Amino acid sequence: MNNLSQSLSASISEDAPNVLPKASAWNAELSLQFGRTARGSVLQRADHRGPLYVQKAFYPEGPDLAQVYLLHPPGGLVSGDRLEITVNTGADSHALLTTPGAGRVYRARPDRALQHQINTLNLSPGSSIEWLPLETILYPDACTRLDTRVNLADNAHFIGWEITSLGLPNRDLPFSDGSLSQTLQINRGERILLRERLQIDEQNRGLLQGSAGLRGKPVTGLMVAGPFDLAMDENTEHSIEPLIQQLRQHAQDCGALAAVSLTGEFLTIRYLGDQTDLAMQLFVRCWHEIRPELLGRAGCEPRIWAT
Amino acid sequence: MAAITTTDTALLRLMQLSSVSLPIGGYAFSQGLEYAIEAGWIKRSDQVAQWLEQQLLYSVAQTDLPILKRTMEAMAQQDHVALLRCNDLALACRETRELRLTDSAMGEAMNRLLVSLGLPQPLPTSGELSYVVLFGIAAQNWQIDYAVAALGFLWSWLENQVAAATKLVPLGQTQAQQLLVELQPLLPQAISRAASVEEDDIGNGLQGLAIASAGHETQYSRLFRS
């Protein structure tokens, strides 16, 4: 499927640069509603438009938490595509979302129509979302905006990550003329708790190579987990510090630049290196440590990660 | 050249606000520079210049300045909701515990200063306060224009960063002055970049700097608080 859309994208950019029919842009939407019932966390609604859907929820760790695979058969975004994913969790329901393969943002057409993905996660009180997609690969000269917004109610928890490959390092193709605006924002009510952005365009292309920026590394990753109740830090028995120590050890052992910090109520883990699989490996290890502390459950990896 | 008169109080107040003698402790924060030098990423004066240029044009111009501008507008309109949003956003954009501490520790000190100078400060003091926002509140109180306030903000940032580099690399006093001369032209450039940043686009992380700053949290021997 990925090869198909790859070749489709190639023929689009090479053969018919200016006169593409509107139909070539795939606007897809998916809206999921999870709710807590007597049977556990149930996927109550899944509405979709365009090639973006889920099949059914899996329950490898019992009825309390639904694992769902987001399927996007085109495999990536071409110019003008817009992908909109909305996930709502009802009170006390728990969902884990992942993807079966890498997301791709292909080389832009000459019109450079935006390749836009919008993820909105709305969490009711007492619920949790784990947003654990595989990496997003940005082809050279892609023109994209990737927005993820997490809206937390009180006592709702979020673990998520973004792994981004700038260009195709395995094929020695750098991000060159591409542009990217990537935002992860977490709100609670009207208050902004965390905003993380990566913007690469004509004005700041220097950060790709810069010593303070991406240091010439093609793969960048960010994992965020929280909120942690920092009042508990007053009580040394429940301090978050031992967890941070463990995460730092994983960061140190990951074979690339990586670091752990606590910003406000959120743990952040960063990766900067050459390989998306190393970033994934680091984040999965950290996820195993964080999950029991934040969500009170042991790590149970989605089966699709093993394939 | 525009005449500057001895009665130009806004200019004098800008100088006071941007002075390294302002008791807000700006000298105590290297913002990741200490780790970058320890790690061998920065060894020479020209590498300091590159580091600061990236920080200035990619991060400060995209985060601090647009927030400063919106803070001053909110303060002028007495829009306290917008002011609180500026404060939240500034803190939310800090990538590490110590970068956040840099902003909030200086913010808290600036708040004490405003109170002791009898200047109005409408933000609730129960939570963390952002230095950038408090700087904007002070500047608006003193009727300093945004463009010059921004220049003063950048200058005091630059002076602190160069002073940190002078201690850490180390550099000679003359080299430090050369560095200031060399980097000065970037300040107006940062202000002009900041002018086009939309609200949703505020913030831009520098992954290398964030990793350096997080690394500083466990650095064995350190002079600076960030």
Q: Is A6 helix (H, G, I), strand (E, B) or coil?
A: helix
Question: Which pairs with CB-CB distance under 8 Å and at least 24 residues apart come from A204-207?
Answer: A204/B57, A204/B58, A204/B62, A204/B204, A206/B54, A206/B57, A206/B58, A207/B54, A207/B58, A207/B206
**Residue B90: its pLDDT value, please?**
98
Nearest in space to A55 (alpha carbons), one of A66, A41, A40, A39? A66
Distances (CA, A) of A217 to A207, A211, A270: 10, 10, 13
**Residue A307: its pLDDT value, please?**
77
Q: How do A266-273 and A219-226 pair as beta strands?
A: antiparallel
| Whether B94 and A263 lie within 8 Å, measured CB to CB | yes
| Number of structural domains found in chain A | 1
Question: What confidence tens digit (pLDDT) does each residue in A58-98 have?
Answer: 999 999 999 999 999 988 999 999 999 999 999 999 999 99
Flag whether A126 is in a domain: yes
Nearest in space to B224 (alpha carbons), one of B172, B171, B165, B139? B165
Cβ–Cβ under 8 Å, residues A106 and A6: yes
CB nearest A264 (choices: B57, B91, B207): B91
| Whether A215 and B208 lie within 8 Å, measured CB to CB | yes
Residue A162 and residue A131: Cα distance in Å, rounded? Answer: 9
Cβ–Cβ under 8 Å, residues B198 and B80: no
Distance from CA of B88 to the nearest CA of A (A): 6
| Whether B210 and A270 lie within 8 Å, measured CB to CB | yes
**Cis amide prior to A169 (ω within 30 degrees):** no
**Mean predicted confidence (pLDDT) in A132-154:** 97
**Whether the predicted pLDDT of B114 surpasses 50:** yes
What band does A2 get if pLDDT is binned at 50, 70 and 90? Answer: very low
Distances (CA, A) of A209 to A176, A196, B96, B172: 11, 20, 21, 28
Question: What confidence tens digit (pLDDT) does each residue in A205-237 have?
Answer: 999 999 999 999 999 999 999 999 987 555 556
**Mean predicted confidence (pLDDT) in A251-264:** 97
In a 13 Å sphere around the CA of B106, the CA atoms on its Cβ side amount to: 30
Length of chain B: 226
**Mean predicted confidence (pLDDT) in B199-221:** 95
Flag whether A1 is in a domain: no
CB nearest B208 (choices: A185, A192, A214): A214
**Residue A4: its pLDDT value, please?**
37
**Mean predicted confidence (pLDDT) in B166-182:** 97
**Whether the predicted pLDDT of A19 surpasses 60:** no
Nearest in space to B147 (alpha carbons), one of B219, B50, B90, B69? B69
Question: What confidence tens digit (pLDDT) does each residue in A179-208 have?
Answer: 999 999 999 999 999 999 999 999 999 999
Length of chain A: 307
Segments making up each domain of chain B, as ranges = 31-217
Range of the domain at A277: 6-306
- The lowest-confidence range among B154-158, B177-181, B220-224 is B220-224
What band does B179 get if pLDDT is binned at 50, 70 and 90? Answer: very high
Q: How many CB atoms lie within 10 A of CB A275?
A: 19
What band does B205 get if pLDDT is binned at 50, 70 and 90? Answer: confident
A188, closest residue in chain B (CA to CA): B88
**Residue A199: its pLDDT value, please?**
96
Nearest in space to B88 (alpha carbons), one of B192, B203, B190? B203
| Whether B93 and A262 lie within 8 Å, measured CB to CB | no
Interface of B with A in 177-216 (CB under 8 A): 193, 200-215
Query: What does residue A189 show for φ and ψ, rounded to 5 degrees?
Result: 60, -130
**Residue B220: its pLDDT value, please?**
85
Flag whether A228 is in a domain: yes
Domain B31-217 has what CATH class? mainly alpha
Q: Is A307 or A240 the better-scoring residue by pLDDT? A: A240
